[in-house]
Every structure is written in structure tokens, then in C-alpha cells.
Amino acid sequence: MTSELTEITVIGEDDTGLVARVTSLLFERGINIEDIDQAVREGVFRMYLAVDTAGMDGHPETLRSDLRDLGDDLDLDVQVRFPADRETQRIAVLVTRESHCLEALFEAWANGDLGADIGVVIGNHDELEPLADHYDVPFHDVGAPSGEVDEDELLAALASYDVDLIVLARFMRILSPNVVFRYEDRIINVHPSLLPAFPGAEAYRQALEAGVRVAGVTAHYVTTDLDQGPIVTQRAFDVPDGADLAKLKATGQPLEADALLEAVQLHLNGDVSVHRGRTTVRENGDGYQLGLPAAVTDANPDRPIDGIVGGED
């Protein structure tokens, strides 16, 4: 979807007639719906609409107010993001205990290479609060001693900082549909494997036990299906004979930070779009690495291939 479209997200308990009420309001104001997607998971209803408000009847803030009033009437949470809302983007970074991805994001931000502000760091443990303090960024601990996340606190923090993008910088918890649905295609995670291989916990250990010769990392959008969201960037590395878990982690962590940072920049620059579960890089996004470096591709053999007969030079 083009970034010039207004995005509307509707969240609440599943009930009949919800879609009709929202779309009727838009129709009455001369708003064309370019894309609509809806889902129900664990009793949570989510509808996403990309709409063209350029020629609508009325003021944008009136539409925002009317949709929120309708949401109150139907007991729905309605979020409206106009193109102008996204001129200055703000990131929330979710963390647990590992610092390498957060460090990479902070360094890019400090160097002016990130393309957005890091508005808040939110953790389910407080170990990384000193790192956030060093960069003068607020830190919120929303975890119990066990690490379990209080999602009401999490959602309140995300709303209070009005974030445009959520980055999971080795955040070791699964987010429920109540969170994911509210930020559809606006949550990026990095996973320490070449997805779809080795999803879930202990991915490096899974790769080691499977005896792979090539391992890697993947930055992807988060969906309600664990580690199955649209892939944005990947990095790979060799696994030598005798490598242990510590070696895989030491090799993979810099690549995790690199792949995550590139995926975040792609998203912030509007160079990647998500449609029907797949990512597409726009024409102005060809300067990214995305996968393996060009040198690796150049080193790959280019023959033999089917259809070539004889020994032509």
C-alpha cells in the first residue's frame, strides 16, 4: 500500500455488523476503500483499512473524531493514521536482556542514520535500563519477576508515546493478538535462524543439533503466527566443524543487529511494503543488502543449467 493512504485499524470483541458500520461511515464521507483485511484470533476482532481520504467530505480531524465516537458506541478501539501523521516517526524498542540489537539501533540514531526517533525502550526485565539512560531515552519495565508481560501496561506505554513502529530487539516474549492486531505490519522482530527453518525458542541450538552447514538470522514483520510473518531481510553464515553454541551466538549476534537495523530503515524509508503476507521492495529500495552480499552471489557457479547442450564457451 502507498504511504499516501490513510490507515484505519479497528480492534475489539468479535460481533456481527462491525464491518458494515465502519465502512458505511466511510462511504457517507466519500472515502474510497483501497484495501481491507479482517481477522479474528482468540476472540479478538481486527479490521485494517487503507483508504483514500484526499477527496473526502469534511476535515481529517472530524473523521478521526467520528470514527472514535463510533468505536465508543460499538466498544471498539479505532486508530486512524493520516499520511501527515507519519512525517516524524517514533520507535518503541522492546527488549529483554540481550543488548546487541538495542546498541545498534541507538548508535544509528545517534549518528543520524536511523531515520526516526527512539521514543521509548520497554522491557520485561530492567537489565537494559542503564543503556537507555545513557541515551536519555525513557525506559518502562512492564514485566513481572518471571518475565511475564503486563500487556495492559505495554499498550498504555505504546499509546502514551504515540509510536509508529515497534522493534523487538531480542524481546523474548510472544505478543498476543491484542497487541499484534493494533500494530499490524508495524512490528519488526529479528529471529536467530533462516526462517522458516527453526522457529521458536533456542533457534541456534536447533540449528546446531540439526547439523546445518549454513545458519543465519531473519528480520520479519510480526503476525499472530509465531515466526511466520513476512520476511524483510536475512543474513547467513557458515557453521564450521566443531562449532558450539557459543560460537554460533557470537557469529550470529552482529548479523542479527545488522539485519534488524536494515529492516527498520527499509520500513521507515517506505521502501518496503507488505501485501497478502509477503514483502515487496519498492524501486527506490534497491540499495539495501537484504540477503547475502554481492560478493557471495558473484562467487556462485553459473553453470551447468538445464537447456545448455555441448561445451559452448
Could you list the active site residues?
227
User: How many other C-beta atoms are found inside a 10 Å radius of the C-beta of residue 94?
Assistant: 28
Half-sphere exposure for 206 (CA within 13 Å, toward CB): 14
Residues pairing with 33 in the sheet: 51
Number of other residues whose CB lies within 10 A of the CB of residue 296: 10
CB atoms closer than 10 angstroms to residue 310? 4
